[in-house]
Amino acid sequence: MVAIGKKVKNFSRPATGDKEISLKDLAGKKVVLYFYPKDSTPGCTTEGQDFRDAKAKFTRQNTVILGVSRDSMKRHENFKAKQKFNFDLLSDEDESLCKQFDVIKLKKLYGREYMGVDRSTFLIGEDGKLLEEWRGVKVKGHVDEVLEACKKHK
């Protein structure tokens, strides 16, 4: 599991645009890694749109945005195209990245219990160390909070 102030273990995942993205390839940049439950659902769509709309501000802070869910690459490509996302989505179908960041939690929906992704965001520093984390994220205002954290960590 990851801890604030500690180096994040390198990961490599398939990404939109027929890429493979590794944390080590992003050295020298801050990384916003946001985990969300499912492509094309209301909260996940809004969160992605908020990051999309703020991308230029994150870029000015030397920060890359990456969205992560357990959806397939095909679903990610469709979601990204439909929402005109200007950042990549990583597919974590085997849940290895979700487990690395401990975001799989017991959830309840209409009285049914299941294991799902707890909406969470992590800010990784230019040196690969975890700077901040947000768990159990509420979408409204979240992107602004993450952007402020990016500005704080110069």
- Give catalytic residues, as residue numbers: 44
- The tokens describing 92, both together, are 């974590």
Among 141, 125, 130, 72, residue whose Cα is nearest residue 101: 130
Q: What share of the chain is helix, strand, coil (3-state, %, to 5)?
A: 30, 30, 35
**Which amino acid appears at position 108 of this protein?**
K
Distances (CA, A) of 21 to 26, 31, 65: 8, 12, 12
Which residue is listed with tokens 């390198």?
10
